[in-house]
Amino acid sequence: MINTSEIAPDVYRISVFVPEINLQFNHFLIKDDEPMLYHAGLKHMFPLLLEAVSKIISPSQIRWIGFSHFEVDECGALNDWLQVAPNSKAVCSEAGAIVNMNDFSSRPVLPMQDNSILKTGKHSYRFIRTPHLPHGWDAGVMFEETNKTLLCSDLFHQNGDVVNLTDKDILSAHKSSMLEFEKGPLMAYTPYSHNTPILLNSLAELQPKTLATMHGSSFHGDCRKALIDLNDVMQEIWGRNDVLT
């Protein structure tokens, strides 16, 4: 099942729900002079996403393809998008370019330094390096500064076929989802370290108005508080200082 909605001005959430694993995969298309697709998606979902994007803009107009870290739901179909959008380029962290994208991508990528800015017309994106948050050495997020939308990847992951956008609590659903994962092979979703609260506080200081989440409902409310409170949830689940004896 695929569902498209505008969650913020010019920001379209394209969601594919997979009932077999009770999970939404969300991709974000931001319209502008140089449109951005954030999350290239899984290769087998590419035909569905291509059709959905085609209803908003011509896919050939996509100029930038962003993602947080090297994972198939983030960038598995990258090279398919590069084929249909001949002037497009992937954008990722410097670490991501060095470690993965210089080999994986079919053409050169734009490696972004921490706090660097990408302008696409009326929209402006700040890249924030967040190693191992949500996971991956190469991880980072993008903050769309015009409408203050944080493209936050797997942060605030929620299982289920949930609403597109909410102003209600998403942390309870996130905590429940992560505790569910702790019982199976997807345990230890996010490493928790001394850097985790520092990174989350730095994202909170941006005071985003909308959190565009990869899995589950996007959030429009007190995003600053949600990011600060997220640290408490992560610390409770993954911050144990167990000592091996």
Q: Where are the domains of the chain?
A: 2-238
Which architecture, in CATH terms, is 2-238? 4-Layer Sandwich (3.60)
Count how many Cα atoms sit within 13 Å of the Cα of residue 207 in the half-sphere of its side chain: 1
Between the alpha carbon of residue 130 and those of residues 75, 98, 135, 197, 227, the distances in Å are 17, 16, 9, 11, 14
Placement of tokens 């505790």 in the chain: 179
Query: What six digits make up the tokens of 142?
Result: 């993008």
Whether the CB-CB separation of 95 and 59 falls below 8 Å is answered with no
End-to-end CA distance of the chain: 49
pLDDT per residue as tens digits for the range 33-75: 999 999 999 999 999 999 999 999 999 999 999 999 999 999 9
Phi then psi dihedrals of residue 115, to 5 deg: 75, 10
Q: Tell which phi-psi region holds residue 148, choosing left (phi > 0), alpha (psi between -120 and 50) or beta.
A: left
Residues 6+ apart with CB under 8 A from 243: none
Rounded Cα distance between 57 and 28, Å, is: 13
**pLDDT category, 1, cuts 50, 70, 90?**
confident
Note the Cα 131 to chain centre separation in Å.
14
Reported as a single tens digit per residue, the pLDDT across 91-140 is: 999 999 999 999 999 999 999 999 999 999 999 999 999 999 999 999 99
Segment 199-223 shows an average pLDDT of 97
